[in-house]
Amino acid sequence: MDIATSFSSQATASDAIQEAITQLQAKLANPKLILVYFSEKYDAVTFQEALAIAFPNAQVLGCTSCQGVMTEGGYHHGLGVALWAISDFHGAYGTAIVSTNNSKYNMARQALLKAIANSGRAGELPALIVLHASPGQEEEIIQGIEDELCTSVPIIGGSAADDHIEGNWKIFSQEQCTQEGVGISVIYPSCHISYSFHSGYASTGLSAKATKVEGRELIELDGKPAIEVYQNWMNQSLDEAESISTNSSLNPLGRVAGVVHELPYFKLAHPLKTTERGGIILFAKVEEGETLYFMQGTEERLITRAGRVVSAASNIYAKDTNLNSIGGITIYCAGCMLRVQHRMDEVAQYVKSAMQTAPFVGPFTFGEQGQFVGGENAHGNLMISAVLFHKD
């Protein structure tokens, strides 16, 4: 069993994918699963066709990443495509995308069943699910997956991203390419896996109850306009109907996801923009009646935490201390990346060190999915999710 990555920043889609394929073929034979993370400017169909020719037996899941990608080769800013592939003679892998007019809840259930069918392991629970969908309704997607399986299988994922939040994201599989839909890979590996999902932010102690919510718009906190309360917490004035995603990236809203050793851990909602009625549009859904905490992070924490999450995946979840990591996947929030873009080389180095130089890929996404230490799968923002594959 082996894992390998490759990367190309060639200007055209055909040149880029051919260079990435050639590099991958030199490292790995007969991959069963290939994950593809790429810039919005590339044509996804070109990638899909080239991969089908080069690796006709591989399952494929591709997803756009915001302004670059990470691999063990470092932080690759701007135009580029990264391939992550696993060769596993005794394992099974299946991928599918569903893009219909149905709800994302139903699309998730259909994509899951199709991916399991494509894996050849019908009736068996996968060890891991990789999720890449267009942004929006991620909570419903996770619910659909869990309802279909009647249990909680670990999920790692990230919502497709573009460079400037303009809707130019894409996902594709070996069978389909779309801008809006749900993509799933199911993984039945012949090795151990471990995983981790963290926010890296701390509560300031300030909190309020969500008293009015519509969809992903938080309208009122403690009966007051949400933006009024949030501005008081930030001690900063924010213009109406303006994107506040950059200003709020160190101060998201947190909800308690669980408690371990009497300490709460949080899932985050990142404010995107204000509304004319004093509400805040979020990248995640909050429920009326939930207590929201004003969270705080630092640039230094954003830089070091990716490595810490990878270390946590290895140290906390690995069942055998003699397991050796042969590769992994990290999902790193695009909002965090944009905040510390000038130091992303350091982020990549921290991850590489935690991976002990094993191959990895890390896209920058518009929402992150993972499983917390308490076993809860969740969608959050400004978070990092990691999974490691271990060989005895």
> Taking 50 as the threshold, does the pLDDT of residue 317 lie above it?
no
> Tokens standing for 121?
């392991």
SS (H, E, C) 22-81: HHHHHHCCCCCEEEEEECCCCCHHHHHHHHHHHCCCCEEEEEECCCEEEECCEEEECCCE
- pLDDT, average across residues 165-179: 96
Residue 43 falls in which region: left (phi positive, over 0), alpha (psi -120 to 50) or beta: beta
Using CA atoms, how far residue 254 sits from 51, 89, 111, 305, 380, in Å, is: 40, 42, 30, 17, 9
Say how many residues make up the chain.
392
HSE of 81, CA atoms in CB hemisphere, 13 A: 31
Q: Which DSSP letter does residue 263 get?
A: E
pLDDT tens track for 55-98: 999 999 999 999 999 999 999 999 999 999 999 999 999 999 99
Q: How confident is the model at residue 200 (pLDDT cuts 50, 70, 90)?
A: confident
Rounded distance between C-alpha atoms, residue 351 and residue 217, angstroms: 34
Q: Are 39 and 15 in contact (CB under 8 A)?
A: no
**Residue 240: count of CB within 10 angstroms of its CB:** 11
Q: Where do the structural domains in the chain lie, given as residue ranges?
A: 2-198+301-391, 203-296
Give the position of tokens 């306009």: 225
pLDDT tens-digit series, residues 222-263: 999 999 999 999 988 876 555 688 889 999 999 999 888 888
299: exposed, middle or buried (Cβ count in 10 Å: 0-12, 13-18, 19+): middle
pLDDT score recorded for residue 357: 86
Q: Give the DSSP H or E segment for 282.
A: strand 280-282
pLDDT at 152 over 50: yes
Q: What is the pTM of this model?
A: 0.94
Residue with tokens 């050796």: 324
Q: What is the mean pLDDT of residues 368-378?
A: 93
Facing residues of 93 across strands?
187
Question: CA torsion angle for 221, 226, 229, 231 (degrees, to 10)?
Answer: 160
Burial class of 238 by CB neighbour count within 10 A (0 to 12, 13 to 18, 19+): middle
Cα diameter, the chain: 61
Contact 269, 246 (CB under 8 A): no
Q: What percent of the chain has pLDDT over 70?
A: 96
What integer is the mean pLDDT of 172-193? 96
* Per-chain mean pLDDT for the chain: 93
Return the pLDDT at 237.
82
- For residue 34, CA distances in Å to 62, 251, 370 come to 8, 35, 20
- Write down the pLDDT at residue 383: 94
pLDDT at 239: 65
Q: What is the pLDDT of residue 322?
A: 61
